[in-house]
Structure 1
């Protein structure tokens, strides 16, 4: 079972990056820094030569070189005040949950940031979003968090990913590919997706901070879109074994999520996939469009699917 909603560390480099406008003026505070996406932001900042403060709920091993770690919790405003003190910029991502809870947590962060004199932030939304209002819970939650951040008055930019290739690295998904040669998310086989990855979204976030490119709304997508069978064929070629794409029934996906996370969780998590299934045109608008270059992200090149699979091929053998 793969719980789709949303993983690699490269060596940091302090070499100057050609063509960047270095508007980063102090440490960057990275939220969810022990997670896949937050960890990718930490590594992207280090690669590009920036000091990083990692916000984590509990310590895990030693601090990566070039970072400091602070313990904090989005439900503890005092810990957020300590975490924000002395930093210049934030890369914020709020854990997925109830819209009111996510908005409250975002408000606690921006309150602490303003009090500490933070200069700017980039908001990374956890998954594909629909900018216009609608009834789908995850889109409502994203919109609530974005509204809080934009109302705070801090210079900010928003990143919206399509869907993460990193989902393939979740243990249950990898096990299906390795043992059974099957990739089976709750997404129609014909649905095209311009798959992105955590590393690309992280690099985009740091580039926006470097350029002081605020006020924008940036869709981070891959260079091409692929159907489910096309993605499976790319995986199969990279790992040298057959892989088939089977679209999982959404009802079965819901039942598996309920079994793993508790009654009711399945319907909440699956609602986005049901939304896509019922509105294929909107699904195309949100998921299928390849990355469009912009001046704010000049020099940013999204990772092709085959390159990403090749980078992680050993995990699937």
Structure 2
């Protein structure tokens, strides 16, 4: 049986649907019982910071899908590192055979925010003695419908990406790659860089959003200091805002631009395009922009 953490997120929900469709036994780890019931399959209520609940959820589990949004750092601490390394240790104690972990694109030592945190977790996993596979996806297309795509109050895109292109990926494709690794022998001891089929600038993304929504969406590029000011005005800690701006500047230098063949290699099909994504999520995106404009 497979335990899916982060089961109510964009990747986890898609993975649970696919495993259920394929007749694979899977258990979702959720914090809210009502959300667990809404998934329509077996679930366990637990919390990353509650070792007893994690141990109970891992009972009878052979493979673990390790995913979960990192909490905003407080005073430099990354709770995700503590939480996920503890789950890896609990998985080893429970006799789990293999862990498939969702990381971030080119996680590296000393990286800011999630880049450095995921690198630490990857190292712990690789040294745990468990079988492992790591997925390092590029930016999520779903960020544009979950409120994390940096829309301004008037419905325009804002950021400090310049003319850099990003190979955004649909979370459905990340889930499909995870399902392949969780249900078969492929990928043990390997790291996979996952991308969409094309790299797009945010100006191009704004044009696609305009066509899909029937209204003009512009991309507004901000200097790093203005972006930091905008983020801190929304209540983010200054250091966190500065780290976000630095990461965007890294993107502006083209770090996430390349596309890869990993999705096709693992699933046998091409990754979804941004146009495919917009067609599937047009109503969600329109509702988000209406809410942002209020």
TM range (shorter): 0.7 to 0.9
Output the CA distance in 1 between the equivalents of 2:239 and 2:193: 26
Contact in 1 for aligned 2:49/2:83 (Cα 8 Å)? yes
**Residue 290 (structure 2) aligns with:** none
Structure 2 CA distance for partners of 1:261 and 1:115, relative to 1, 3 Å: farther
**Residue 84 (structure 2) aligns with:** 106
Question: How far 1:288 sits from its partner (Å)?
Answer: 0.7
The yes-or-no answer on 1:315 pairing with 2:291 is no
Question: How far 1:66 sits from its partner (Å)?
Answer: 5.7
Output the CA distance in 2 between the equivalents of 1:208 and 1:299: 13
The yes-or-no answer on 1:121 pairing with 2:99 is yes
**Residue 239 (structure 1) aligns with:** 213
Structure 2 CA distance for partners of 1:274 and 1:204, relative to 1, 3 Å: same
**Residue 199 (structure 1) aligns with:** 172
Output the CA distance in 2 between the equivalents of 1:119 and 1:293: 23
What is the TM-score normalised by the length of structure 1? 0.79
> What SS does the aligned partner of 1:123 have?
strand
Output the CA distance in 1 between the equivalents of 2:51 and 2:14: 25
Contact in 1 for aligned 2:264/2:270 (Cα 8 Å)? no
Output the CA distance in 1 between the equivalents of 2:18 and 2:52: 28
Contact in 1 for aligned 2:166/2:257 (Cα 8 Å)? yes
Output the CA distance in 2 between the equivalents of 1:214 and 1:66: 30
**Residue 289 (structure 2) aligns with:** none
**Which digits, 9 at most, give the CA deviation of each residue in 1:121-140, with x for residues without a partner?**
10002x43334x34424321
Count of aligned pairs between the two proteins: 281
Contact in 2 for aligned 1:187/1:248 (Cα 8 Å)? yes
Question: How far 1:195 sits from its partner (Å)?
Answer: 0.7
Question: How far 1:172 sits from its partner (Å)?
Answer: 7.4
Output the CA distance in 1 between the equivalents of 2:78 and 2:213: 43
What is the RMSD computed on CA atoms of the aligned residues? 2.7
> What SS does the aligned partner of 1:302 have?
coil
Contact in 2 for aligned 1:57/1:71 (Cα 8 Å)? yes
Greater than 6 Å deviation, 4+ residue runs: none
Aligned counterpart for 2:240 among listed residues 233, 253, 268: 268
**Which digits, 9 at most, give the CA deviation of each residue in 1:196-238, with x for residues without a partner?**
1221111111112223221111111100101111111122222
**Residue 277 (structure 1) aligns with:** 249
Output the CA distance in 1 between the equivalents of 2:259 and 2:137: 11
1:1-317 mapped onto 2 (5 Å cutoff): 27-61=1-35, 63-64=37-38, 67-97=41-71, 98=73, 101-125=79-103, 127-131=104-108, 133-171=109-147, 176=152, 180-184=154-158, 186-212=159-185, 213-262=187-236, 264=237, 266-268=238-240, 270-277=242-249, 280-281=252-253, 284-285=254-255, 287-293=256-262, 297-317=266-286
**Which digits, 9 at most, give the CA deviation of each residue in 1:80-135, with x for residues without a partner?**
1101001111110143245653332222212221122112110002x43334x344
**Which digits, 9 at most, give the CA deviation of each residue in 1:7-65, with x for residues without a partner?**
xxxxxxxxxxxxxxxxxxxx211112223332232223223332221111222246257
> What SS does the aligned partner of 1:60 have?
helix
Output the CA distance in 1 between the equivalents of 2:190 and 2:221: 34
Structure 1 unaligned regions, length at least 5: 1-26
Output the CA distance in 2 between the equivalents of 1:207 and 1:269: 36
Structure 2 CA distance for partners of 1:59 and 1:174, relative to 1, 3 Å: farther
